[in-house]
């Protein structure tokens, strides 16, 4: 006798998480462009704002789907948290890029090395997250993702700390210090929010175990 597995549609939640995470990869790459000589910083900021709007729309599509789906594949509260935290990361990436533009920081000879280290950590976190989202469907091979994402957060944290030591060393005037610290705070918050995404995935996987 053939027994049929009850078909349970996922209603596109995994695709939406993946699209949201892919926007984060694009966002991190745009931030990396800011280090290039002669970059058009206003255009980078505008592209980040567009990406951020797109991520907002994906988040709202997710919230609406929670409403309209009778049996979502994950707890409604977890879907909500995952969707909104992916959106949080984008908010911080956009804020960092826009502040570099608004504060005119690319007029400096060079941004401190630690800012590039933070952007590197973010880029790796974004790529890991985008690769992990489709695996939520099967809940397989997620453990390495969240461990590595947490490790990168620690690395970002260390870069942030050393950046502040440099900023407070007297190398820059007080207002430039304040401007760069605002940018660094957004980058560090993005790093944290990626870890938060990884923790939500861990919680979801723990429930399924």
- Binding residues vs its own copies (CB under 8 A): 63, 66-67, 76-77, 80, 84, 95, 98-99, 102-103, 161, 164-165, 167-168, 170, 174-175, 177-179, 181-182, 199, 202-203, 206-207, 209
Nearer to its own copies, 112 or 123 (CB): 112
CB of 17 to its own copies, least distance (A): 17
Nearer to its own copies, 36 or 113 (CB): 113
Token pair for residue 146? 């969240």
What b/e string do you get for 137-152 counting C-beta neighbours within 10 Å, with b at 16 or more?
Answer: eeeeebeebbeebbeb
CB of 55 to its own copies, least distance (A): 14
Nearer to its own copies, 79 or 126 (CB): 79
Nearer to its own copies, 67 or 138 (CB): 67
How many whole angstroms separate alpha carbon 59 and alpha carbon 89?
12
CB of 4 to its own copies, least distance (A): 30
Cβ distance 75 to 12 under 8 Å? no
CB of 3 to its own copies, least distance (A): 27
Give, in degrees to the nearest 5, the angle at Cα 197 between 132 and 57. 90
Q: Which candidate, 150, 161, 69, 159, places its Cα nearest to that of 119?
A: 159
**Backbone torsions φ then ψ of 94, nearest 5 degrees:** -65, -45
């Amino acid at each position: 006798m053939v027994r049929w597995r009850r078909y349970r549609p996922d209603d596109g939640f995994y695709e939406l998480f993946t699209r949201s995470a892919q926007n984060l990869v694009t966002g991190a790459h745009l931030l990396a462009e800011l280090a290039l000589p002669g970059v058009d910083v206003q255009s980078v900021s505008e592209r980040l704002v567009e990406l951020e709007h797109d991520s907002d729309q994906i988040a709202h599509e997710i919230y609406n789907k929670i409403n309209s789906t009778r049996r979502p594949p994950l707890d409604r509260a977890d879907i909500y948290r995952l969707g909104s935290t992916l959106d949080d990361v984008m908010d911080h990436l956009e804020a960092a890029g826009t502040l570099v533009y608004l504060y005119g920081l690319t007029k400096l000879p060079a941004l401190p090395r630690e800012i590039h280290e933070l952007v590197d950590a973010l880029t790796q976190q974004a790529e890991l997250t985008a690769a992990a989202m489709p695996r939520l469907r099967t809940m397989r091979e997620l453990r390495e993702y969240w461990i590595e994402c947490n490790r990168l957060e620690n690395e970002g944290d260390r870069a942030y700390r050393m950046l502040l030591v440099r900023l407070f060393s007297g190398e820059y005037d007080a207002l430039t210090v304040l401007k760069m610290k605002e940018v660094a705070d957004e980058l560090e918050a993005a790093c944290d929010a990626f870890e938060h995404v990884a923790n939500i995935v861990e919680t979801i996987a723990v429930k399924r175990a």
